[in-house]
Amino acid sequence: MENIYNQLTLRKHNYIEAKFTPIKMINFGKCLRCGNRDLTINNGVKSCLNCQELGLIDQFTYFYTLPFQNYPKDYQKSDNNLLLTKMQIKASSFIVNQLKTNKNCLIWAVCGAGKTEITFQAIECILQKKLFIGFAIPRIDVLYDVYDRLKQYFKLVEISLLHGQKKINKNAQIYVLTTNQLLNFKDAFDLLIIDEVDAFPYEYNQKFEYATKTSTRKNGSIVYLTSTPSKVMLEKQLPTFVISKRWHNYLLPVPKLEFLNYKLLKNYILSPYILYLLLKLDKQLIIFISNISLGYQISKVLNFYNFKNTFVHSKAKHKRKYINAFKDQKINILISTTILERGVTFKNIDVWILDSSSSLYNIASLVQIAGRVNRNINFQNGQVIFFYTTINKTITEAIKQIKYLNNL
């Protein structure tokens, strides 16, 4: 049986025209699912390995696609009140104005500015027209947070959650999905919102840029959201709105710099300064590290000193359980890889990066990690500390960007 391209729109719901259009997916010298031209030839058969996570396709693979038709139900406005700051209201109106002319745009908003809520007015405009919205996010860890916030506000709207390990498939008007799931859609969305466009795996990945364009309708609009736009994104010269202050109008925390002797850690010795900070800790603490092996080592060192902690990383079992326990303040010290650098909000925390000199960090990741602190209006005394072996350009540029935004 042929594979199903745009499979979520194929089902014969009452708002879909039952008309099948076969598409030969390896054609015109490229893969029509991801745009890849670097095809693999095996025994004379062309195939695409670039998007094989969604199923391997070759020159004999046919897909079927069906366009979304108007949704049958009238939009019923939520009884929730959307409380936005003056700057958020301006940003929201900016997006709506771009929709009127079918233009794409960029929202550059600092960490904690409330980017998700800024899109709600635009989403309502599309819902009122009985059309469809895609909200794409590169990382699964952020996906659930956005899904929950959309569900909380748009209570009467059907929303679908899609990623590689889990799919909530139903007749929906809003699809919250990882960026690779966009490869399953064609001409589907009238509004496509791409959050954290500077994050892996979206940034510098041509197949996701291709999927962004092909999954959006001809007269649809794309809204790019980021706290740390890359040079590539800025070079697009899209209409851009900048929000330099958080919703509560407090400044971004500027990281402190502290030297760290890693030889001591390898010998299960905490420096007097770190020991002092841990003993006087009056709030929760996230300790960021760049790799899993170092995370386990740090956890063992803290355990040696009787500091209870939990370590979460992309491969850890029950990581969401531990993250939620930290949110509920049942865990005091959380060690994490960069899976928590984006899209999560905690009430009252300090943040340390124990290996900020590592080449695995870029400017965006350091700025994002620092942005986890002081997000709550009632808790503004959190500290960010970059522990280093050498102060490199990435560290200095990250701090420079934070200070620049604070001075706008």
Instruction: Mark whether 350 and 394 lie in a shared domain.
Output: yes
**Whether residue 340 sits in one domain with residue 377:** yes
- 209 part of a folded domain: yes
CATH number of the domain residue 138 falls in = 3.40.50.300
Asked whether residue 190 falls in the same domain as residue 157, the answer is yes
260 and 177 assigned to the same domain: no
Q: What is the pTM of this model?
A: 0.83
Give the residue from 210, 243, 276 where a domain finishes.
243
Domain range enclosing 286: 256-401
Residues 218 and 261 in one domain: no
SS (H, E, C) the chain: CCCCCCHHHCCCCCCCCCCCEEEECEECCEECCCCCCCCEEECCEEEECCCHHHCCEECCCEEEECCCCCCCCCCCCCCCCCCCCHHHHHHHHHHHHHHHCCCCEEEEECCCCCHHHHCHHHHHHHHHCCCCEEEEECCHHHHHHHHHHHHHHCCCCCEEEECCCCEECCCCCEEEEEHHHHHHCCCCEEEEEECCCCCCCCCCCHHHHHHHHHCEEEEEEEEEEECCCCHHHHCCCCCEEEECCCCCCCCCCCCEEEECCHHHHHCCCCCHHHHHHHHCCCCEEEEECCCHHHHHHHHHHHHHCCCCCEEECCCCCCHHHHHHHHHCCCCCEEEECHHHCCCCCCCCEEEEECCCCCCCCCHHHHHHHHCCCCCCCCCCCCCEEEEECCCCHHHHHHHHHHHHHHCC
The answer on 175 and 28 residing in a single domain is no
pLDDT in tens, the chain (408 residues): 344 444 444 333 333 444 556 778 898 899 988 999 999 999 999 999 999 888 888 998 887 776 677 788 888 887 777 888 899 999 999 999 999 998 999 999 999 898 999 999 999 999 999 999 999 998 787 888 899 999 999 999 999 998 877 665 567 899 999 998 998 888 889 999 999 888 766 776 789 889 999 999 989 999 999 998 888 888 899 999 999 989 888 999 999 999 999 888 888 899 999 999 999 999 999 999 999 999 999 999 999 999 999 999 988 888 889 999 999 999 999 999 998 998 788 999 999 999 999 999 999 999 999 999 999 999 999 999 999 999 999 999 999 999 999 998
Task: Say how far apart CA 19 and CA 146 lie, in whole Å.
Answer: 33
Give the whole-angstrom CA distance, residue 129 versus residue 118: 19
Are 375 and 246 contacting, i.e. CB atoms less than 8 angstroms apart? yes
Alpha-carbon Rg for the chain, nearest whole angstrom, is 23
Say whether both 60 and 14 belong to one domain.
Answer: yes
| Same domain membership, residue 233 and residue 306 | no
Residues 197 and 111 in one domain: yes
236 & 112 share domain = yes
24 with 141, same domain: the answer is: no
- The number of folded domains in the chain is 3
